[in-house]
Amino acid sequence: MTAPRLEIRLDRIEHNARALVERLGARGIAVTGVTKASLGSPEVARAMLAAGASGLGESRLDNVVRLRIAGITAPIVLIRAPMPSQVADVVRHADSSLNTEPVVLELLSAAAVAQQRRHGIVLMVELGDLREGILIDDVADIAKLVLSRPGLELRGIGTNLACQSGVVPDDVNMGVLSELATSLEADLGVSLATVSGGNSANLDWALSGADVGRVDDLRLGEAILLGCEPLRRTPIDGLATDAFSLVAEVIEAKVKPSRPWGTIAQTAFGPRPAAPDHGDGNRAIVALGRQDVDPDGLGAPDGIVILGASSDHLVLDTGATPLTVGAEVRFSLDYRALLRAMTSVFVTRQFVA
């Protein structure tokens, strides 16, 4: 079998998605399954849909196209604002997109008219995290622009927190979003089909028993794929945290000293703290590096410590257990490690039962 390989357990992804669909459904909130950390994997998308996700969210148009080519017809929302240069393909392949810029909305409308389609628009509102979002006083004007353009359909509003600045979704910011939905409906004489409250970081709030107000959708990636919530990276009760694991192969196994010798300067990836002297110990190198994964997001098996990583080598202290050349070592992954491994051309993917 080839290494490094990412082993993916679709049944666990489906289990996680179903649990979240049920728990949030009880609160009137639908789940948009976000596939971006899986490189738009059609298999992962199908697992999410089988579990009851109301649609899919993807940040990359390439991945949206991959899902469509695989035959997925479920609604797909492009969750990163479209680039002006790609509006025609956005309209062709995605049902809707999250937007903040009037100039892009004009281009989307023109592209949709040219294709005799209507493209759904969710306007993103800035609620303090300072990534994408329209400032609250400007939302009504931009909503009017959407309503006046023939190629566009105003689906609703949304927000995204906890990504750029770590702002926590709470009763205050979610309350502002709900009030905005209600006031827009009154001012513009429309009804908004969706109020998309955020991402996996919203789960604590959404499941806390708080009044969720108008929020009726969450866009969930990490919680489904890794079974943990991103604010404190704690496992979510009843969810599987091992749907993904990364397997790498040992290419050197020797007893070596714990301290380097010679004059010490920077490593290939910057300065490194001096290693404490533990005497000689079991070391192994696995054929895995920064070109494959973000090593800071890897979890080693019990008894093994990751000592360092360069482009192609991961150096391990294997404690009391000497490994053998050719043996496989299995690592767990956090979100950043998963993202890099999924997008590395060097890592193969294997779906296991």
User: Where on the chain is the footprint of ligand PLP (CB under 6 A)?
Assistant: 34, 36, 59, 79, 98, 160, 199-200, 219-223, 230
Q: Which of 264, 200, 244, 212 is nearest to 20 (CA)?
A: 200
Cβ proximity to ligand PLP, 56 vs 180, nearer residue: 56
State which residue, 55 or 230, has the beta carbon closest to ligand PLP.
230
Q: Which residue is nearest to ligand PLP (CB)?
A: 221
Give the C-alpha separation, 128 to 242, whole Å.
33
Length of the chain: 353
Phi-psi region of 274 (alpha: psi -120 to 50; beta: other; left: phi over 0): beta
In the three-class reduction of DSSP (H, G, I as helix; E, B as strand; rest coil), residue 253 is classed as strand
In the complex, minimum distance from the CB of residue 7 to ligand PLP, in angstroms, rounded to a whole number: 20
Neighbours of 83 (CB within 10 A): 12
Looking at beta carbons only, is 331 or 335 nearer to ligand PLP?
Answer: 335
Closest to ligand PLP by CB, 168 or 251: 168
Q: What would the two tokens of residue 152 be?
A: 């566009």
We find the least distance from the C-beta atom of residue 153 to ligand PLP, in angstroms, to be: 19
Amino acid letter for position 195:
V
Cα–Cα distance between 268 and 174 in angstroms, integer?
A: 45
Tokens of 267: 């490593």
Give least dist CB 221 to ligand PLP, A. Answer: 3
Please, which residues have CB within 8 angstroms of residue 42's CB and are 6 or more apart in sequence? 66, 67, 70, 71, 72
DSSP strand pairing (5-8 vs 348-351): parallel
Tell the smallest beta-carbon distance from residue 254 to ligand PLP (Å): 40
- 200/318 with CB nearer ligand PLP: 200
- Rounded to a whole number of angstroms, the minimum distance from the CB of residue 108 to ligand PLP is 17
Q: Which is nearer to ligand PLP, 220 or 304 (CB)?
A: 220
Min dist CB 213 to ligand PLP, Å, is 19
